[in-house]
Structure 1
Amino acid sequence: MAYKDEKLNEEKVFKDPVHSYVHVRDRVIWDLIGTREFQRLRRIKQLGTSYLTFHGAEHSRFNHSLGVYEIVRRILENFAHRPNWNQEERLLCLSAALLHDLGHGPFSHSFEKVFNLDHENFTRAIILGDTEVNEILIKVSPDFPQKVADVINKTYKDKLVVSLISSQIDADRMDYLQRDAYFTGVSYGHFDMERILRVMRPYDDQVVVKETGMHAVEDYIMSRYQMYWQVYFHPVTRSAEVILTKILHRAKQLYRENYSFKIEPTPFLSFFNDDVSLEDYIRLDESVVMYYFQMWTEEEDSILSDLAYRFMNRKLFKYIEFNPNSQMSNLMELYQLFKEANLNPEYYLVVDSSSDLPYDFYRPGEEEERLPIHLLLPNGELNELSRQSEIVDAISGKIRTDHKLYFPKDLVEQLPANQKDKIMEILYKQK
C-alpha cells in the first residue's frame, strides 16, 4: 500500500476540550504530529501575552493546530460524495490544516514585529526545508511538500481547498474562536459550529453555506467581532505586548552597543544580527525566551531589568485613550517631559493601535482574501451574505480602530511634584 493511503491499525484519538475528540487514522497525519517541528508548537502559546489578562489562556498552537485539522476532517467527511469535491485532495487538506501554523515563533506577532520576521515564511521553510516534516511529506510524493506550502500560502490552484483553511469562514477561525473563548472563560466566541458544518457545501472554487444556515453564520461573525474587541485587543494584553516588544528592542539595542550581558543571550544572537537560520528559529520557543527574561531582571541596565521585571511579575503599564488626530501635540509635550524626568520615552511612552474589519465583501482591486461568504439558495444560485443578512450588513466593510497611550504610572508618581503634576495633568485632564 502506498504511504499516502496507509492507515493506522486502530484509530488514535486526542481528548479535546472543544471538539471532545480529535480523530487520527491516516499514517501521514500521525507521523506529522510526532515530528520535532510540530511538537515545538506545544511550547508556543496560542494567545501570546493574553494569559496575563485571562489566567486560563495557557493553551498552545499545538492544541489549535489539532483542532483545525479535526474541523477539516469533519468537513471532508460531509463532502466525500458531493459534486464539486475532488476526494484526491483529502490528504492535502488535512496536512495543510495540521501544519498551517507551523512557523509561529514565541509570542508570535510581537516577536515578528521586533525582528522583522514573517511566520508564514518560516512555515513554508519548515515544510520545504531539511526537516522531519519535509521527510514525511516527500514520502507522499515529491511535489507534496510544495502543494501543502501552496495551500497555506493561498497560491494553490484549487481555491476550494484553500478556502477550507483560509477564508472568511474557515476551519482556522472556527477553531480559534471557540478554543480561545473556552480557555479565556468568556462567552463571546461560542457559536453553533455543528450547524455550520452541516450546511457547508463545496461549490466551484469556494465553500458556500446553505441559506438555511444563515443565522448560524451571523452568530459566528458576531462571535468573531466580540472576541477581537473583548479578548484579542484587550488593553491589558496590549500593555503586556508593549512591554514584551520593548524588552526585545532594548536587548537588541544593548547588544549592538556591545553591552556585556551577565549571561550571553546565545539563542537571540542571530535575531539581533538579522541573520536568522531555520534551525535558530526552530530552537527558540517561549520557554527559552522566558528564561532570558527572568535572567534580565538582574541586568545592570536599568531599563532592561525594569521592563523584564514588569513582564515577569505583571507590573504592567497603565493606559489612557489617545486620539492621534487631535492629541499629537500633547504626545510631543509628554515626550519632552519624560526625557527631562529621565524616563526614556522610547521605552516608557508608547502609542498602541488596534483595528479590525469583522467582515467584508469582495471589492475589485482589493486583496482576494476578502472573498465573501456566499449563501446557497434553494434554486442553486448564490447570494452574498450581507445582502441577505441585516446584521452582517450593519458591520460589513466597517473598520474599527482603537488607540491607547501606555506609560508606567508608578514611575511617574515617584517623580518630584512639579514634574509629576505636569505629566499627570496632560495625561488625565486633557479632553
Structure 2
Amino acid sequence: MEYAKQKLHEEKVFKDPVHRYVHVKDRVIWDLIGTKEFQRLRRIRQLGTTYLTFHGAEHSRFNHSLGVYEIIRRIIDDVFEGRPEWSDDERLLSLCAALLHDLGHGPFSHSFEKVFHMDHEHFTQAIILGDTEVNQVLRKVAKNFPKHVAEVIAKTYKNKLVVSLISSQIDADRMDYLQRDAYFTGVSYGHFDMERILRVMRPREDQVVIKQSGMHAVEDYIMSRYQMYWQVYFHPVTRSAEVILTKILHRAKELYEDSYSFKQEPVHFYSLFQGDVSLEDYLKLDEGVITYYFQIWQEEEDPILRDLCERFMNRNLFKYVEFDPAKEYKKHSELEALFKKAGIDPDYYLVVDSSSDLPYDFYRPGEEEERLPIHLLMKNDELRELSRQSDIVDSISGKRRTDHKLYYPVDLLYDESTKKNIKRQIRSILELT
C-alpha cells in the first residue's frame, strides 16, 4: 500500500487534558510526531514567560500542535467527510499542516524574534523543506508534498479552504490555544463551546463558514479570545518578564559586538549575534539551552547582564506604571536624564512596552493585513458577515485596543546608598510613595 494511505495496525492515542484524547491512525502522522524536529517542541513552552505569572503555564508547543491536529482531524473526519465541497484528497495535507504549523518556533519565541529579527514561520518552512527528518517523512508521501505543506502554513496554497482551517479568525489553531492556555493558567476566560462550533462548521469554496444557528457559540469564542488577550497574554507581569528577557538578549549581543570576554563563551548565540542563523544552529536552540546561559551569566563581570539574569532567574521583575508615550514624552525624557544621573542605564532599566489587539475585523480593501471575516451560512444558503448579524461582535469589530506601560526596577530607586536626592526625584515623578 502507498505510504500516504497506510494506517497503523492499532490506533494510537495521546491522553490530553483539553480534548481528552488525540487520535492517530495515519502512519504519516505517527512518523512525523517521532521526528527529532517535532520532539524539540517539547522543550519550548507555548506561552513563553507566562509561567512567571501563572505558575501552571508550563505546557509546550508540542501539546498545542497535537491539539490543533486533533481539532482538524475531527472537523475533516466527523463533519466534512462526504460533503461535496470537501475533497478527501486534501485530508492528509490538512492534518500534516495542522501538526507542523508551529514547528519553527524558537525558545521564548516572540522575544527572540524581536531582538534577532527572525520569523518563526520562515523557520517552519525551512524545516519542512530542508534536510530534516520531517522533510524525509513528507517526501515519502510525494515529491512535492513538503512544498504543499509549507504553502498551507504560508497561506499561499491554492485551496484557500484548507488554509482557513488553520489560519483564519476562527481556526483550529486559535480554538486549541485559547482552551489549552486557559486550562494551564487556571483562568476561566478561554472556555467556549467548541463542540457546538465544530458541529456547525461547513466547507465552502474558499473558507470554512458557520451555520447561522451557531452564531452565539461563535460570539462566545470571540469574547473568550478578547478576554484571554487582556487577562493572560498581555498580563503586565508577563510583559515585565519579557522586557527583562529582551534586555538580556540585547545586552549579551552588545557585549559580544564590543569584544567582551564572557566567562562562558555563548557559542549557541554566535550565529544569532552575527545575524546569520543556519537551520542547523536554530534547531539546537531550546529553552533549556537559553536558561542555562542565563543561569551562568549571573556570575558575569558585566553588572547589567549579571543583574538582568538574576532578575529573570529569580523572578525579581520590574514594576510598572500606566504610561501614554504620545502625551507623556516630556516626562519620559526627564526620567531618562534622571536615571543617567542616578547611575541607572535607562536603555536597560526604563522601558516603555506596548500591547495591541484587534479582537475581530471584517475585510477592509487596501489594508496591509487581510483578515478573512467569519461568515454565517443563512437558511436560504446566503452568506453574511458575522458582525452584520451579531450586535455583540459589531460592538468590537475593527476596534483596536492598545495599552502602554512604563517598566522600571523599583528596588534600585529605593536603594539610597547613592544618589539619594535624584532617586527621590524619580520616585516623585513616578508617583511612588
Q: Which interval holds the TM-score relative to the shorter structure?
A: over 0.9
Aligned-pair identity (%):
76
CA-based RMSD of the aligned residues comes to 1.0
Contact map agreement 2:364 2:370 (CA 8 A) in 1? no
Shift of 1:368: 6.0
- 2: CA distance between counterparts of 1:323 and 1:340? 24
Matched residue, 2:8: 8
Shift of 1:369: 4.0
Query: Quick check: 1:110 aligned with 2:111?
Result: yes
| Deviations 1:37-65 (CA, angstroms, capped at 9, x unpaired) | 00000000000000000000000000000
Contact map agreement 1:362 1:368 (CA 8 A) in 2? no
Matched residue, 1:353: 354
After TM superposition, list the pairs within 5 Å mapping 1:32-47 onto structure 2. 32-47=32-47
Shift of 1:173: 0.1
Matched residue, 2:344: 343
Matched residue, 1:205: 206
Query: How many corresponding residue pairs?
Result: 430
SS in 1 for 2:23: strand
Contact map agreement 1:338 1:344 (CA 8 A) in 2? yes
After TM superposition, list the pairs within 5 Å mapping 1:292-371 onto structure 2. 292-367=293-368, 369-371=370-372
- 2: CA distance between counterparts of 1:332 and 1:119? 35
Matched residue, 1:177: 178
Shift of 1:366: 2.1
Matched residue, 1:130: 131
SS in 2 for 1:297: helix
Matched residue, 1:149: 150
- 2: CA distance between counterparts of 1:307 and 1:117? 23
- 2: CA distance between counterparts of 1:213 and 1:110? 37
Matched residue, 2:235: 234
What one-letter code is carried by the residue in structure 1 that aligns with 2:364? R
Matched residue, 2:384: 383
| Deviations 1:372-405 (CA, angstroms, capped at 9, x unpaired) | 0000001100111000000000000000000000
Q: Which residue, out of 424, 428, 433, partners 1:425? A: 428
Spell out structure 1 runs of 4+ moving beyond 4 A: none
| Deviations 1:51-97 (CA, angstroms, capped at 9, x unpaired) | 00000000000000000000000000110111210110000000000
Contact map agreement 2:298 2:305 (CA 8 A) in 1? yes
Contact map agreement 1:154 1:166 (CA 8 A) in 2? yes
What one-letter code is carried by the residue in structure 2 that aligns with 1:239? S
Structure-2-length-normalised TM-score: 0.98
SS in 1 for 2:99: helix
SS in 1 for 2:367: coil
Shift of 1:350: 0.3
Structure-1-length-normalised TM-score: 0.99
Contact map agreement 1:167 1:369 (CA 8 A) in 2? no
Change over 3 Å in CA distance of 1:116–1:368 after alignment to 2: closer
Matched residue, 1:264: 265
Contact map agreement 2:297 2:309 (CA 8 A) in 1? yes
